[in-house]
C-alpha cells in the first residue's frame, strides 16, 4: 500500500515503513531497536534520515546503500553519512561498497576521523602541489602513509611541497615539514626544529 500511496520508495515512504516496523516490535514488547533507512540516492538518504530523526528517539544506523565501487562509491558514502553526522543525526554507520569489505571499514573510519568523531591514527595534511613544488610530493606522502598506517595514537602531520606557503601549514600541525629541492624545514608544535636533508 505504500507504493500505491507514494508511487515509489520516497523518503517519506521509507520513514513510514520503518515506523510501522517499530510499532510492530513495540506491540510485542521489544524496545531494543535501532532503525536504518537507506537509499542508493545520497539526497534521498539524507532527506529520509532527517525526517526520521524528527519523528523518533530511537538510535539511527546510517549508510548509502548500493553506493557502487571505487571513488564514486566512497564519495557518495562520505557525503551522505558525513552530512547527517555533521547535523547530529546518526548513531552507527556502514559504508557499502562493491568490493573488498575491508575497504568499507577503512572508509568509514576516515569519515569519522575527518569529522573529529574518531581520534586515532595519523592525519596527513598535504598540499595539492604547484609550480613551486620541487619534490615528488605524492610519492613521499604515499610512503609516509604506508609506513604509519598502523599507528593508533592521534597525530596531525603536515607534509608540504614548498618553502613558501609550506612553513605556515607545517607550523599549525603537531609535526610538519616544508620541503625544498634538497632539504626540508622541520616543525614540531609550531616551532622550527631544523633542516632535514632529503635522500636522493
**Structure-block grid coordinates of residue 61:** 544506523
* pLDDT digit string, tens, across residues 37-93: 999 999 999 999 999 999 999 999 999 988 788 899 999 999 999 999 999 999 999
- From 61, 92, 118, give the residue that closes a domain: 118
Q: Are residues 157 and 58 in the same domain?
A: no
| d(C-alpha 84, C-alpha 150), whole Å | 29
Does the pLDDT of residue 7 top 90, yes or no? no
By residue count, the chain amounts to 200
CATH of the domain at 80: 3.20.20.20
Same domain, 108 and 135: no
**Which of the listed residues 76, 93, 118 is the one where a domain comes to its end?**
118
SS3 content of the chain, % helix, strand, coil (to 5): 40, 20, 40
pTM for the model: 0.84
Distant-in-sequence, close-in-space partners of 157: CB < 8 Å, separation ≥ 6: 122, 123, 124, 125, 144, 148, 173, 174, 175, 176
What is the model's pLDDT at position 128?
92
Do 49 and 127 sit in the same domain of this protein?
Answer: no
Longest dimension (CA), the chain: 71
What CATH number is attached to the domain comprising 153?
3.30.413.10
What is the mean pLDDT of the segment spanning 166-190?
93
In terms of residue numbers, what domain contains 20? 1-118
Q: How far apart are CA 111 and CA 93, in angstroms?
A: 10
Which residue has cell 608540504?
Answer: 160
* Together in a domain, 159 and 66: no
Amino acid at each position: 500500500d505504500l507504493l500505491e500511496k507514494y508511487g515509489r520508495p520516497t523518503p517519506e515512504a521509507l520513514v513510514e515503513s520503518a515506523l510501522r516496523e517499530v510499532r510492530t516490535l513495540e506491540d510485542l514488547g521489544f524496545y531494543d531497536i535501532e532503525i536504518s533507512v537507506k537509499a542508493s540516492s545520497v539526497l534521498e538518504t539524507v532527506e529520509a534520515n532527517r525526517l526520521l530523526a524528527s519523528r523518533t528517539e530511537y538510535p539511527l544506523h546510517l549508510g548509502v546503500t548500493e553506493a557502487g565501487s571505487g571513488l564514486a562509491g566512497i564519495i557518495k558514502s562520505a557525503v551522505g553519512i558525513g552530512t547527517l553526522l555533521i547535523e547530529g543525526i546518526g548513531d552507527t554507520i556502514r559504508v557499502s561498497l562493491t568490493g573488498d569489505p575491508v575497504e568499507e571499514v577503512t572508509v568509514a573510519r576516515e569519515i569519522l576521523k575527518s569529522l573529529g568523531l574518531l581520534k586515532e591514527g595519523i592525519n596527513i595534511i598535504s598540499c595539492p602541489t604547484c609550480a613551486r613544488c620541487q619534490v615528488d610530493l605524492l610519492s613521499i606522502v604515499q610512503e609516509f602513509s604506508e609506513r604509519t598506517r598502523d599507528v593508533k595514537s592521534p597525530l596531525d602531520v603536515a607534509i608540504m611541497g614548498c618553502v613558501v606557503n609550506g612553513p605556515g601549514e607545517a607550523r599549525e600541525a603537531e609535526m610538519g615539514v616544508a620541503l625544498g629541492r634538497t632539504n626540508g624545514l622541520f616543525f614540531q608544535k609550531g616551532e622550527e626544529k631544523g633542516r632535514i636533508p632529503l635522500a636522493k
